[in-house]
Chains A and B, each alone.
Chain A
Amino acid sequence: MPHDTDGQLLVEPVETDSPVETGSPFEADSPAGNNSTDSVSTSSTSKADDLRSLEAGLDRLQTDPEHAPGAWQRFTTSVLPPILFVIALVAAWQLYVVIAQPRPDIVPGPVDVFNAMALGWESGRLQTAVITSLERGVVGFLIAVVVGTPLGLLLAEVKPLRRAVGPIISGLQVLPSVAWVPAAILWFGLTDATVYFVVLMGATPSIVNGLIAGVEQVPPQLRRVGTVLGAGRTRLATLVVLPAALPGYVAGLKQGWAFSWRSLMAAEIIAVGGTIGFGLGSMLQQSRELADIGGVLATVLVILFIGVLIELVFFAPLERRMLRRRGLLQGGTR
């Protein structure tokens, strides 16, 4: 029994079992095997096969086959419910208009709003407004991505800089971007630059914060593994940190888009005239000036619809795919 710290004890096994009894799971031709004399080559090969099939069985028991939901299932679980809800909402609205008979210039019915929308479509104003706004929103958002991404990376990786600039970026996120409109008009006049500036100020903080949050949530273990595997600073950032931070970044982009779209509408409502074209916000403002409640509601619905459409067509699939691949989606296995 070893009592002092350097005590060494030679422990002989109680008996040397033959491989047939206890089983030698090793291959006989092992270079490091210092005592493979007692295992016969055939029995050790079968032992290796044994281990292989044993492991395969256990692997099968411990994993469930992942079934992706079918198209019909996806339709009934995620597409159908919101559609049914909207139909119910419109029906309730129509019912209210029929029963309560409110003044149509204050509470129009769904039909009036639809007619206003059709009128806008026929005159071509609606198409112009949608295209103008969408183009500005997308371009403004892309500029925000180009500005926000390197800024976010810089702040995420350089700690002193983040301590200095981080709170101000977070503060900017709280500041409603409409607040920039008066300043932007004074600086840039009634031009597209005003609109883009407001969109940029609205979206960039979200993108920067999303990226910082994403990088911050990278498990330290993954960085350690990257280091152990021999990654330097650059390759650690590109091969480990950035992909690991992707969920946070995409969440930031999604929020950035929402802020872009909102800021754009705010800017278009306030800044009318000059070289600023005719967008959805301008259309909203024009309908108000004409006391055309049908037109106002129709425009609101179009703005809402475009926001939802971009989310559904672009961000939702992107996010779902990314989360499913990482097993972060609810309902995924283990």
Chain B
Amino acid sequence: MSGQTAIRIEHLGKRFGAGPLVLDDVNLSVEAGEFVCLLGASGCGKSTLLNLIAGLDRPTTGAIDVPAEGAAVMFQESALMPWLTARQNVELALRLRGVARSARRAEALELLDTVNLADAAEKRPHELSGGMRQRVALARALAQDRPVLLMDEPFAALDAITRDLLHEELERVWRRTGRTIVFVTHNVREAARLGQRVVLLSSRPGRVAGEWRIAETSGRRIESPEVAALSIEITEQLRKEIRRNAA
């Protein structure tokens, strides 16, 4: 990789009001163009961390460096505007980015074509399946044209077949656009399938509890033996972290 750092997180801590510590001394740096999966059980503060990186929330302690252009975010629910068509939803992102009116339509259609949805451009969200909605959301996130793409369990609510396809789609888009992606998930296999690096967070408070780098990322499938092998290893570590909460 280029070796340039896109996101640098140092000694990050977060608590909400007087509540318990949600994130404790998290250190992480993500290179430009890297695909990092943040993995953890419930209550590990994955989403909190993502919100902090997105600038939707402020850290209690520590520092976060993100590119000045900011980050695009994709959520578990597609959160498309129900009164707009797929194309208009993408156009809304372009409009808020400041793209001229005349250029919006063509660019939106091009982005929808990137996620293989050119035919569904004039459909409204309720006419689309869950997987299609998430692809529109992906196109909308790409429309923001930010170097960093943050994804908060974007495929968690989808069926296995659709999720599998969207993994391929996302990987293709990532390779084509060179975006830096931080992908939050609680699905070990998904993390092992997608990431160049998997970062395991412990729960309550969230800390970095383990890190795996995957040297060879092309040609992976969810059923590939190397993905399975890595999943077993990560799961073992994850369970160890979860067990610690039993005491």
Q: Are B128 and A240 in contact (CB under 8 A)?
A: no
For the complex, is A105 an interface residue (Cβ under 8 Å from B)?
no
Quick check: A235 and B127 within 8 Å, CB to CB?
A: no
- B53 → A minimal CB distance (Å): 12
Q: Which residues of B contact A1 (CB under 8 A)?
A: 233, 236-237
Contact B129 A59 (CB under 8 A): yes
Q: Please tell me if the beta carbons of B126 and A228 are within 8 angstroms of each other in the complex.
A: no
B34 to chain A, nearest CB (A): 9
Q: Would you call B211 and A326 a contact (CB within 8 A)? A: no
Nearest chain-B residue to A37 (Cβ)?
Answer: B218
Binds A, one of B5-13, B36-44, B60-68, B222-230: B222-230
B15 at the interface (CB under 8 A from A): no
Bound Cα distance from A12 to B131, whole angstroms: 31
Whether B92 contacts A26 by the Cβ 8 Å rule is no
Residue contact A27 to B175, C-beta cutoff 8 Å: yes
Does A332 make an interface contact (CB < 8 A)? Answer: yes
- A99 vs B226: C-alpha distance in the bound complex, in angstroms? 89
Measured CA separation A23–B169 after assembly (Å):
14
User: Given the interface contacts A26-B171, A38-B219, A326-B126, does A230 sit within 8 Å of B79 by beta carbon?
Assistant: no
Measured between beta carbons, the chain B residues less than 8 angstroms from A69 are none
> What is the 8 Å Cβ interface bit string for chain A, positions 228-248, against chain B (1 contact, 0 not)?
111100010001100110100
Instruction: Mark each residue of chain A from 10 to 53: 1 if its CB lies under 8 Å from any CB of chain B, else 0.
Output: 11111111010011111100111111101100000000100110
In the complex, which residues of chain A have a beta carbon less than 8 angstroms from the beta carbon of B239? none
Asked if residues A327 and B126 are in contact (CB atoms below 8 Å), the reply is yes
Asked whether B21 is an interface residue with its Cβ less than 8 Å from the other chain, the reply is no
Residue interface bits B193-221, CB-to-A below 8 A is 1, else 0: 00000000010000111111111111111
B103: Cβ under 8 A from any A Cβ: no
Residues of A within 8 A of B93 (CB): 229
> Are B210 and A222 touching (Cβ within 8 A)?
no
In the complex, the chain A residue whose C-beta lies closest to that of B34 is A32
- Asked whether, in the complex, the Cβ of A30 is within 8 Å of the Cβ of B96, the reply is no
Please give, as numbers and ranges, the residues of chain A lying within 8 Å of B175 by CB-CB distance: 26-27, 30-33, 36
> Which of B104-112, B160-168, B183-191 is near enough to bind chain A?
B160-168
Closest chain-A Cβ to B90's Cβ sits at a distance in Å of 11
Query: Known: A33-B175, A225-B75, A325-B83. Is A14-B225 also a contact (CB below 8 A)?
Result: yes
Bound-state CA distance A5–B56 (Å) is: 28
CA distance A36 to B119 in the complex (A): 30
- A221 close to B75 (CB less than 8 A): yes
Verify B218–A39 contact, CB threshold 8 A: yes
Instruction: Say yes or no: A222-B172 contact (C-beta < 8 A), given A12-B216, A59-B132, A327-B126.
Output: no
Which chain A residues lie closer than 8 Å to B126 at the CB level?
A: 326-328, 332-334
Are B171 and A25 touching (Cβ within 8 A)? yes
> How far, in whole Å, are A25 and B175 apart by their CA atoms in the complex?
11
On chain B, the number of residues with a Cβ less than 8 Å from chain A's Cβ atoms is: 70
Q: How many chain A residues touch the partner (CB < 8 A)?
A: 67
Whether A56 sits at the interface, judged by CB under 8 Å, is: yes
A246 to B120, CA, bound (A): 25
Asked if B29 is an interface residue, CB under 8 A from chain A, the answer is: no
Q: Judging by beta carbons under 8 Å apart, are A32 and B174 in contact?
A: yes
Question: What are the interface flags for A302-334 relative to B under an 8 Å C-beta threshold, 1 for contact and 0 otherwise?
Answer: 000000000000000000001001111000111
In contact, A63 and B127 (Cβ under 8 angstroms): yes
A25 touches B225 (CB 8 A): no
Given A16-B219, A22-B224, verify A62-B131 contact (CB < 8 Å): yes
Q: Is the CB of B209 within 8 A of A66?
A: no
Q: Is the CB of B213 within 8 A of A9?
A: yes
Residue of B nearest to A227 (CB): B56
B136 nearest CB across to chain A (Å): 12
- A35 contact set on B, CB distance < 8 A: 216-218
Q: Which residue of B lies closest to A231 (CB)?
A: B96
B226 neighbours in A (Cβ, 8 Å): 11-15
Residue A224 CB within 8 A of the other chain: yes
CB distance from A138 to the nearest CB of B (A): 27
Knowing A1-B233, A2-B237, A24-B219, say if A243 contacts B81 (CB, 8 Å): yes
B58 at the interface (CB under 8 A from A): no
Contact digits for B72-98, partner A, Cβ 8 Å, 1 yes 0 no: 110101010111000000001101110
Cβ-based interface call for A58 (8 A): yes
**Interface mask (B114-148 → A, CB under 8 Å = 1, otherwise 0):** 00110110001111111110000000100010000
**B1 adjacent to chain A (CB < 8 Å):** yes
Task: Please name all residues of chain A whose beta carbon is closer than 8 Å to the beta carbon of B229 when the two chains form the complex.
Answer: 11, 14
Which A residues contact B (CB, under 8 angstroms)? Answer: 1-2, 5-17, 19, 22-27, 30-36, 38-39, 48, 51-52, 54-56, 58-59, 62-63, 66, 219, 221-222, 224-231, 235, 239-240, 243-244, 246, 322, 325-328, 332-334
Residue contacts A-B, CB under 8 angstroms, 19 given: A1-B233, A7-B211, A19-B219, A23-B221, A24-B218, A30-B176, A35-B218, A39-B218, A52-B116, A58-B129, A62-B132, A63-B132, A66-B127, A228-B54, A228-B73, A230-B96, A326-B124, A327-B127, A332-B126
The 10 A-B residue pairs with the shortest CB-CB distance in the complex, in nearest-first order? A327-B126, A62-B129, A30-B175, A13-B226, A32-B178, A25-B168, A221-B79, A13-B216, A326-B82, A2-B210
